[in-house]
Structure 1
Amino acid sequence: MLRFAHIEYLWALAVIPVFILLFIWVSRWKSKALQSLGDRNVVNNIVADVSFSAPRLKFILFTIAYALLVIGIADPQIGSKIVEEKRKGADLMILLDVSNSMLSQDMMPNRLENAKQAIAQLIDNLHSDRIGIIIFAGEAYVQLPMTTDYSAAKLFLNSINPSMVPTQGTAIGAAIDLGIKSFDFNDGTGKSMIIITDGENHEDDAVAAAKNALDRDVTINVIGMGSPEGAAIPIYQGNKQVGFHVDSAGQTVISKLDENMGKEIAAAGNGTYVRATNANSGLNIVMSQIEKIQRKTYDAKSFKDFEDRFQFFLAAALLCLVIEFFITNRKSLRLSKVKLFEVKNP
């Protein structure tokens, strides 16, 4: 597995075409300047000991050295093998509501983006706990299986949007059931779920699913997104808002936070309910509850054996520069005497 520790430095390679264009322009300018001096044969005799191929070779070596230097500074690294290690932690599954109502803007910039920002902060504060992400609307899907790769977790998190679940609704119970199936109960680690939703569950019995999870020693905490007053649900075409959802009577649909539903699910799952605000996501309160669950040692696998390879590129760049330095613009007297294709008269 190859990666760059500072991949942004590779943008410096974009100037190589500029170098090439400048070299071509200067070469043509020199050629025209020589032609302007007079007869070409006479000029060639005057500059007979000047090598016209040496500048090209020096430029090629310089360009290669520059490219190798940039790659070296970007620090290419190779993960040679998967490293197994022992970690002590718990399993935390995030159940994120991605129904259209989560686009309501009674939280800034909207409920869903506010929730994603809170989850990103949560990931930043994790150390050895495994995390997974399930998204749900009318159906539930595993977006990220249990992992300790927090970078991957944030990458998957950034890509989440309502279009990922084609069936609309809010099937919280289905998400809880899928969360239970995603846990490995053989490793003995503590399990917990955090449901982030506006609570408008219309699809199934979420409270019964929460009780079933508690029977498996999985606690469930709920963070309510939105406000009891609610807000309209915007409609987007691409990135442009084109209106709001309306009901069959043509009235604008107002999505309101169902706090009672959230409290019932949290109570059934022996967890905590918190209502998020623009100033406070409520994760601190929920995490204080999660800290109480049991943490055990488990086997973790990751590409940790990354080895730096920048030294090879820097050494090759230095070698090219040294060779370029010793190449002169004058012809070699010894090489000029060698005439491989000269035909001698008998």
Structure 2
Amino acid sequence: MKFIFHSPQYLYLLLLLAPMVGLSIYSFYIRRRKLHRYASNPEMRTTLMPERVGRKRLMRDLMLILSFAALVIVLARPQMPGNKQEGEDRRGIEAMICIDVSNSMLCPDLAPSRLNFAKRSVQRLLERMQSDKVGLIVFAGKAYIQLPITTDLKTAQEFLANISPSMLSAQGTAIGEAISLGIQSFSSREDIGKTIIVMTDGEDHEGDAIESATAAAKQGIRVQVVGIGTAEGGPIPVADGQYLKDEDGQVVTTHFNSDMCRSIAEAGQGSFVTSTNQSDLVEALYQELDKLPKANTGRLDHSGYLELFEVWAWLALVLLVAECFIAERRNRILMKYNLFSHE
């Protein structure tokens, strides 16, 4: 019987079990040491703290630790494959999404930053591209494939979440190189629509973007450009809450280059889309993608998964309730001398 977890990243919380167990043992040891300090006679120690009291304390700690483990498993959502249902053929397009990660994309003119605005836009776009094949490219002064083209959009979303300017040290905006890399990333199929989506503010481009977009169009690949930023622009944050400054000590203002973005889209026979409203931006872009010819991108099997987290949720609840009913009655002598209070 095979089990999987919908959100396995939460399982890392189970690493906290070891220090929790250690803390429980340490607490028990401290209590015993205090007891030995005030009562050297074994019979007196038994009177002050019977064995059952120690066992109850350990039992309560164990229940709390086990309930924590059960709640972690609930968060991870254990599942078991159910009965397979009849699948269906998926029809979609091939798209390589190129995301600008240059420092200018840190500008907060689109809160919280241009890059975060772009990433959230791509996230929402992927939610509507369930039948398409998608790949990711990141670029600044150089361009790199972050994720080869795939139908696994869940993996694409995970890779998308990890995108940041720290991925590339070379600064600049190598849009042309990103487009060229995108051209090489598609399959050799001729029956499916292919597009390169460039998410950028268009600033500090390397100069070969128009040529690369033209080359893509000649191969039947549309280049869509999504402009990220505002006409007013803004400063570029650096470390310690400061902003990037020029040689004269003046704060640098980065501006969204809409003319360059529009020119690249025209050369690539695609569309230029920009908006400060994320919903409008994604909708406009998706409408352009929907015009491209679609072909079979694979078969989608509707294999139902049985959710098992309810079992662990009930287990956690039972353990917590049981822990509450294990009363730890304090010995009156201990209370009188306050032996186990914190020092």
Q: CA offsets, 1:218-275, max 9 Å, x none? A: 11111111223322222x23xx32232314x444332222111111111112211122
Q: Give the Cα–Cα distance (whole angstroms) in 2 for the partners of residues 189 and 127 of structure 1.
A: 16
Match of 2:178 among 155, 175, 188: 175
C-alpha spacing 1:299/1:243, structure 2 compared with 1 (3 Å): same
Q: Give the Cα–Cα distance (whole angstroms) in 2 for the partners of residues 288 and 38 of structure 1.
A: 78
C-alpha spacing 1:19/1:138, structure 2 compared with 1 (3 Å): closer
Correspondence 1:142 to 2:145: yes
Unaligned runs of 5+ in 2: 82-86, 317-343
| Identity level (%) | 33
The match for 1:204 is 207
Max radius of gyration: which structure?
1
SS of the residue aligned with 1:244? coil
Aligned residue identity for 1:117: R
Aligned residue identity for 2:295: K
The match for 2:259 is 260
Q: Spell out the pairing of 1:92-111 with structure 2 (5 A cutoff).
A: 92-111=95-114
The match for 2:21 is 17
Bigger proportion of residues as helix: 2
| Alignment root-mean-square deviation, CA | 4.7
Correspondence 1:241 to 2:248: no
TM-score for the superposition, normalised by structure 2: 0.69
Q: CA offsets, 1:25-65, max 9 Å, x none? A: 8x9699989823999xxxxxxxxxxx99xx79x969x8698
What displacement does 1:210 show? 0.9
C-alpha spacing 1:99/1:3, structure 2 compared with 1 (3 Å): same
The match for 2:134 is 131
What displacement does 1:217 show? 1.2
C-alpha spacing 1:310/1:194, structure 2 compared with 1 (3 Å): closer
C-alpha spacing 1:66/1:140, structure 2 compared with 1 (3 Å): closer
TM-score for the superposition, normalised by structure 1: 0.68
What displacement does 1:131 show? 1.4
SS of the residue aligned with 1:156? helix
What displacement does 1:142 show? 0.8
Match of 2:43 among 35, 41, 45: 35
Match of 1:227 among 227, 230, 253: 230
The match for 2:271 is 272
C-alpha spacing 1:224/1:151, structure 2 compared with 1 (3 Å): same
C-alpha spacing 1:20/1:93, structure 2 compared with 1 (3 Å): same
What displacement does 1:278 show? 4.8
Q: State the aligned residue count.
A: 302
The match for 2:320 is none
What displacement does 1:86 show? 4.4
